[in-house]
Chains A and B, each alone.
Chain A
Amino acid sequence: MSDTIVVAGTYLISYGLILGYAVYLHIRRRRAGNPRG
């Protein structure tokens, strides 16, 4: 596997984790603001 793909994949997974956390916070905020929803 080429170095470029490994480095790109590492960036992708890391930024994916950060993005996932931001989306999780967004969903949690919506649920907390609207407990019935």
Chain B
Amino acid sequence: MTRVRVLMSLAAIAVAIGLWFALTAPPDALQGDYARLLGIHPPSMWLAFLAFGVTAFGSIMWLIKKTDRWDRLASASVEIGLIFTAIGLFTGMVWGQAVWGTPWDWQDPRLMSTAVMFFVYLGYMALRNAIDDPAVRARRSAILGAIAVVQVPLVYFSVNLFRTLHQTQSIRPDGSTMPDEMLTAMLVNMVAFTILYIALMTARLDVAKVEAEAEPQTSLAGDAVRPPRLNEVEDV
């Protein structure tokens, strides 16, 4: 618990510093204060990509090692990734309404691929909740977690691959298209969100570990009251 509190405190300080950078950067000549959403929209999506990447890593490691900790890592990271994808979508819609005149375009590859990614990982959570057997749950979700990550590069590069309302990458190999103040605000917030991810993951893994320790007791109680299965009825 102490480690979680220390990390949460560090994350709170980092996010506060990031917020200060975002709010003190000069407003954009065209977008005004909406440009300040750079402090939350790209960092949220960066964190979602990171989280889903960690899920894929945990899933692949589970398929190799078959140990519970990798399953816990993968599922914990999906939960956090979903929250930050939701924030990325929400902040993007607010920004879109301001600069495109519409919060959503059903034909936009970046928007649609992000929404599909969100619902696939929501499906991952539904899959986990639908399976009672821990070993089956871990195997099926590991397969999905390892495959679903292909969407991350697809979402990221969709702005280059297709014609889209969304702008292309602001940071490219040949430099940045943003003023230095905005770029700094975005990068500071990306670092702050990475610290926040570490803190939230530590807290989430702590919960998962304690719940896993309590699980045998719970399933024993559940076994005592569950209805007989079909094959058991046939045996009788």
Interface residues of A (CB under 8 A from B): 3-4, 6-7, 10-11, 13-15, 17-18, 21-22, 25-26, 28-29, 32-33, 35
Distance between B199 CB and nearest chain A CB, rounded to angstroms: 8
B36 at interface, CB cutoff 8 A: yes
Residue from B34, B90, B200, B207 in contact with A29 in the complex, judged by beta carbons closer than 8 Å: B207
Residue from A7, A28, A33 in contact with B36 in the complex, judged by beta carbons closer than 8 Å: A7
B40 at interface, CB cutoff 8 A: yes
Contacts between the two chains (Cβ within 8 Å), count = 61
Q: Are the CB atoms of A14 and B87 closer together than 8 Å?
A: yes
B120 at interface, CB cutoff 8 A: no
Q: Are the CB atoms of B91 and A33 closer together than 8 Å?
A: no
Interface residues of B (CB under 8 A from A): 1, 8, 15, 19, 22, 32-34, 36-37, 39-40, 44, 80, 83, 86-87, 90-91, 94, 98, 196, 200, 203-204, 206-207, 210-211, 214
Q: Are the CB atoms of B33 and A4 closer together than 8 Å?
A: yes
- Smallest Cβ-Cβ distance to B211: which chain A residue: A32
Distance between B101 CB and nearest chain A CB, rounded to angstroms: 14
